Amino acid sequence: MSGAQKLRDKVAVITGATSGLALASAVRFIQEGAYVFITGRRQDALDAAVKLLGPNARGVRGDASDMDDLDRLFHVVHAERGSIDVLFASAGAGFWANLGSITEEQVDATFRVNVRGTLFTVQKSLPLLNPGASIILTGSIAAQRAFAGLSVYGASKAALRSLIRHWIVELKDRNIRINILSPGSIDTAALAPLSEEMRQHLRDLAPMGRLGEPDDVATAALFLASDDSRYVTGTELFVDGGAGQI
């Protein structure tokens, strides 16, 4: 059975993985044989996630938009495991606000994490990435489909689509793959404050008629992380029940 593990003996780094789809992906990666480093800004949430994941996980507290924290993360990875096979840059931030009420602080905070943080997470990982490594970025259907109040968030995720087009060319000699995983409405704690009416609206947006589950995203992340996707790079994989496609 262990011989069938898709990530056997691989080292993965997942940022922002103390909850939701990134934590579900860490669970799946470990089940498939990987050793996983996860990050999060809150030590208590990080400790709880590592306890859930078990002995093949290591938590490193940090903010993906903080350069010192990123340097510390990759120093720990290098010291303890030496190299990286899978980088899942999943840390993100967002807010709801219509055009007339958007503030400078909201724009700066969103782009600092989603664009600047993702860019430097990838950049600082480069010396540790093995030939043939897989990089996965977390996008969103908000970059593909309009939602009132999500213009800044959607724009920050759309920027990632442009970045990877350039990066796959720059990294082709190392055979490093880079893809975007773009979820739709996933039933995580982020949706908990929504009314049942809004939750039903989100269900209705998807032709499949339901909210996604974290493991729906995790299984797609596993595909992009593993050799199953060895000839897939520069793509955006939507896990959205079809919501962004109609």
| Nearest to 96, CA basis, from 41, 28, 151 | 151
User: CB-based contacts of 204: which residues, under 8 Å, 6+ apart?
Assistant: none
pLDDT of residue 2: 45
204-235 pLDDT, tens per residue? 888 998 998 999 999 999 999 999 999 999 99
pTM here is 0.93
pLDDT by position in tens, the chain (length 246): 445 899 999 999 999 999 999 999 999 999 999 999 999 999 999 999 999 999 999 999 999 999 999 999 999 999 999 999 999 999 988 888 889 999 999 999 999 999 999 999 999 999 999 999 999 999 998 888 878 888 999 999 999 999 999 999 999 999 999 999 999 888 888 787 888 988 898 888 889 989 989 999 999 999 999 999 999 999 999 999 998 888
User: CB-based contacts of 185: which residues, under 8 Å, 6+ apart?
Assistant: 191, 202, 203, 205, 206, 211, 212, 240, 241, 243
Query: By the 8 A CB rule, do 53 and 219 touch?
Result: no
Return the domain boundaries, the chain.
Answer: 2-238
Task: Enumerate the active-site residues.
Answer: 153
Query: By the 8 A CB rule, do 191 and 203 touch?
Result: no
157-191 pLDDT, tens per residue? 999 999 999 999 999 999 999 999 999 888 888 78
Domain 2-238: assigned CATH number: 3.40.50.720
pLDDT of residue 136: 98
